[in-house]
């Protein structure tokens, strides 16, 4: 499947670097040409000679190597491949990528390229779960970089948990999926995200605490599986991901119109936290105090039910996924919502203030379908998105 494909393999400096040797062999068995780049830290774990022998290629190591620059300058090297694969991607390397640093050959190649980039992270579990690493991961995913793993497992340091490098067959599968278009290639998925803002007057509005991070991560994960994604987003705190069609809205009624305009779709993932109510007597000018001490009388009207409209409409996607943010009796309320709205799946989460989930970087969800419920562990929103995107791919394919 990889015949005529050139892969620039950047090997980071972690103990998992030794597994890059097997990865090189397997990539070449599938017909790929591998051009290896070693960071200085990677040379503490694998030797240039072993990498070169397995790749049957010159190993690039130094940004300021005059011979290398004369043969193939780093700008040309960064763009002469079909895919840049970073394996292992260490916490340090990911941080430098997220900040746009170019202080060695590897980071300069990554910054100077317009070639697709895929990371296979590997690090200690505490490093992976650290808020800084998760922020960097979110930035890289938003920038359109694909990520495979890490997985749970035993580590060289003796700890167990997420952070272990994905198995070589799984990395190969991700590379092959990239070139084949992914399991959702040819599928159109609609994703709604973020809060809605319902105006009181031109300077005030009613909203909720949704950051839009989970919907953004879902759009990125579905894109990475090859889907054509239409991303309808309210005023979120996080930027939309690259590589998707972005439709920006503000109110619930605008979101409904944009959602209906985006149909037909193969699946709809309704992750937006839509306001249930709007101010029916919103003022066209700023409401001023009148000295009486009385608050203005606001009249409310119910907003359209976007999830129910899509679930029961004539252009209904074959899979409709709703979200239920609850503060008590989470599973019971969400299961009832799934039936009431007519959607296929509901992703329920507990957003009580003590959980820190609403507006936070992690999520702990229960997936409710017609066959039962699944409680997922507390994960980063990106990992939650990848799991859900994988389930959607299984359903559609």
What pLDDT shows up at residue 1? Answer: 73
Give per-residue pLDDT as tens, 268-284: 999 999 999 999 999 99
| Residues tagged in the binding site annotation for CTP | 276, 286, 304-307, 323, 337, 341
Q: Is 157 known to be catalytic?
A: yes
Cα–Cα dist 376/390, whole Å: 14
Average pLDDT for 215-242: 90
Percentage of residues of the chain with pLDDT beyond 90: 61
Verdict on whether the full-model pTM lies above 0.85: no
What pLDDT shows up at residue 20? Answer: 94
Cα–Cα dist 258/151, whole Å: 37
What pLDDT shows up at residue 70? Answer: 57
Is the distance from CB of 230 to CB of 270 less than 8 angstroms? no
Is the distance from CB of 234 to CB of 270 less than 8 angstroms? no
Q: List, in sequence order, every beta strand (DSSP E) within 50-186.
A: 83-89, 117-121, 146-147, 151-154, 160-164
Q: Taking Cα atoms as reference points, which of 119, 118, 126 lies closest to residue 155?
A: 126
What pLDDT shows up at residue 363? Answer: 84
Q: How many residues does the chain have?
A: 397
Q: How far apart are the first and last CA of the chain?
A: 20
Neighbours of 41 (CB within 10 A): 17
Q: Grade residue 25 by pLDDT with cuts at 50, 70 and 90.
A: very high
What pLDDT shows up at residue 151? Answer: 76
Looking at the DSSP assignment, which residues form a beta bridge with residue 161? 153
What pLDDT shows up at residue 69? Answer: 64
What pLDDT shows up at residue 71? Answer: 62
Pick the CATH number of 6-180 from 3.40.50.720, 3.20.20.150, 3.20.20.80, 3.40.50.1950: 3.40.50.1950
Nearest-5° Cα angle at 193, 163 to 331 = 70
The contacts of residue 313 (CB under 8 Å, 6+ apart) are: 260, 263
What pLDDT shows up at residue 120? Answer: 92
Cα–Cα dist 28/20, whole Å: 12
Q: Which of 53, 75, 131, 157 is catalytic?
A: 157
Neighbours of 49 (CB within 10 A): 9
Cα–Cα dist 113/128, whole Å: 26
Instruction: Tell me the pairing of strands 365-369 and 372-375.
Output: antiparallel
Tokens 């970073």 map to which residue?
A: 86
Give per-residue pLDDT as tens, 66-85: 666 656 666 778 788 999 99
What pLDDT shows up at residue 72? Answer: 62
Cα–Cα dist 268/8, whole Å: 36
Give per-residue pLDDT as tens, 329-387: 999 999 999 999 999 999 998 877 777 776 677 888 999 999 999 999 888 888 899 99
What pLDDT shows up at residue 379? Answer: 87
> What stretch(es) of the chain map to CATH 3.40.50.10300?
188-396
Kindly tell me the burial class for residue 283, based on how many C-beta atoms sit within 10 Å of its own C-beta (0-12, 13-18, 19 or more). Answer: middle
Query: Is domain 188-396 in CATH 3.40.50.1110, yes or no?
Result: no
Q: Grade residue 33 by pLDDT with cuts at 50, 70 and 90.
A: very high
Residue 292 has pLDDT above 80, yes or no: yes
Average pLDDT for 143-151: 83
H/E element holding 393? helix 381-396
Average pLDDT of the chain, as a whole number: 90
> What stretch(es) of the chain map to CATH 3.40.50.1950?
6-180
What pLDDT shows up at residue 73? Answer: 64
Tokens 């780049």 map to which residue?
A: 37
């Amino acid at each position: 499947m990889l015949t005529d494909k050139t892969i620039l393999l950047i090997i980071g400096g972690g103990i998992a670097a030794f597994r890059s040797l097997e990865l090189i062999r397997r990539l070449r068995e599938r017909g790929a040409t591998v051009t290896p780049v070693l960071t200085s830290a990677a040379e503490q774990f694998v030797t240039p000679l072993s990498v070169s022998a397995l790749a049957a290629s010159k190993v690039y190591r130094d940004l300021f190597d005059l011979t290398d620059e004369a043969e193939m300058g780093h700008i040309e090297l960064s763009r002469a491949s079909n895919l840049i694969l970073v394996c292992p991607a260490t916490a340090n390397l990911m941080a430098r990528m997220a900040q746009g640093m170019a202080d060695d050959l590897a980071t300069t190649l990554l910054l100077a390229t317009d070639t697709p980039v895929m990371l296979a992270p590997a690090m200690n579990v505490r490093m992976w779960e650290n808020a800084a690493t998760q922020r960097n991961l979110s930035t890289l995913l938003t920038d359109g970089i694909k990520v495979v793993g890490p997985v749970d497992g035993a580590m060289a340091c003796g700890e167990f948990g997420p952070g272990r490098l994905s198995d070589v067959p799984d990395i190969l599968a991700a590379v092959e999926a990239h070139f084949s278009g992914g399991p959702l290639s040819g599928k159109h998925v609609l994703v709604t995200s973020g809060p809605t803002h319902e105006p009181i007057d031109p300077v005030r509005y009613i909203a909720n605490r949704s950051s839009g991070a989970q919907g953004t991560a879902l759009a990125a994960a579905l894109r990475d599986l090859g889907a054509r994604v239409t991303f309808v987003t309210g005023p979120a705190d996080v930027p939309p991901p690259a590589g998707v069609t972005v439709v920006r809205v503000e109110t619930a009624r605008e979101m409904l119109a944009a959602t209906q305009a985006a149909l037909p779709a193969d699946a709809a993932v309704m992750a937006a936290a839509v306001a249930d109510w709007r101010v029916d007597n919103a003022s066209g000018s700023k409401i001023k105090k009148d000295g009486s001490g009385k608050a203005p009388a606001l009249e409310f009207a119910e907003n359209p039910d976007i999830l129910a409209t899509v679930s029961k409409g004539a252009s209904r996607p074959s899979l409709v996924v709703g979200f239920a943010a609850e503060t008590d009796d989470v599973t019971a309320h969400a299961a009832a919502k799934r039936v009431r709205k007519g959607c296929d799946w509901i992703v329920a989460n507990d957003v009580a203030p003590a959980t820190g989930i609403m507006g936070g970087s992690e999520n702990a969800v229960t997936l409710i379908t017609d066959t039962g419920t699944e409680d997922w562990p507390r994960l980063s929103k990106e990992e939650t998105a990848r799991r859900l995107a994988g389930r959607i791919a299984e359903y559609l394919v």
